[in-house]
Structure 1
Amino acid sequence: MPQDPAIPVTDAEAACPATEANPPRPQPPRLLTTEETTRLLRVDPSSVRRWRAERPPQGPPFIRLSERVVLYDTGDLQTWLAGRRTTPGARRKTA
């Protein structure tokens, strides 16, 4: 039976190279709080909260665990940032 990914890997497991019998485990997503996200993006927390409150929501994708708990996946943040990149001199894509 596969081990729960939330359970940490032991030193013995970490020392074994990935093989067919011991495939590499996917890393769980790194989830950031709103405050951690604002530090990463270098924006004011009110901006991130405003993005979420817009209809439709703006800004990076988020995970609402409850009314007061919102998390951001680092992979989603990287994808969102990449989509906002502007390359000077590059031609715009046409639809």
Structure 2
Amino acid sequence: MPRRSTPPAPDSCPDGDPLLTAGWYTTEELAALLRVDPSTLRRWRTARPRQGPPHVPLTGRVTLYSAADVERWLRQRRVTTGTGT
């Protein structure tokens, strides 16, 4: 059987983003980037309905956020002012 010269492609998210090779943030890292307290992200995760960017709970203490998901979430929340007259 011939050897494979390149590794297989990683599984992808439904929208085509690579799941394992994309950037990931911890709660603390994302909180620092968004300039909010980590408790804010924790509160968003437990709110009903849920708020904040999509997240992946790995364990009871570790939650990760995909950089692509965070960027998409921020773009959806962006408010642009009209030129209105």
Task: State the TM bucket, normalised to the shorter chain.
Answer: 0.7 to 0.9
Structure 2 gaps of 5+ residues are: 11-17
RMSD over aligned CA atoms reads 2.3
Higher Rg of the two aligned structures: 1
**How many residues were matched structurally?**
72
Where does residue 3 of structure 1 map in the other structure?
A: 7
What SS class does the counterpart of residue 64 from structure 2 fall into?
strand
TM-score by length of 1: 0.66
Identity of aligned residues (%): 47
2:83 and 2:45 map into 1 onto residues whose CA distance is: 30
Where does residue 23 of structure 1 map in the other structure?
A: none
Structure 1 gaps of 5+ residues are: 7-25
1:41 and 1:5 map into 2 onto residues whose CA distance is: 32
Q: Does 2:42 correspond to 1:38? A: no
Q: Does 2:61 correspond to 1:68? A: yes
**Which digits, 9 at most, give the CA deviation of each residue in 1:6-46, with x for residues without a partner?**
8xxxxxxxxxxxxxxxxxxx681111100000011111111
TM-score by length of 2: 0.73
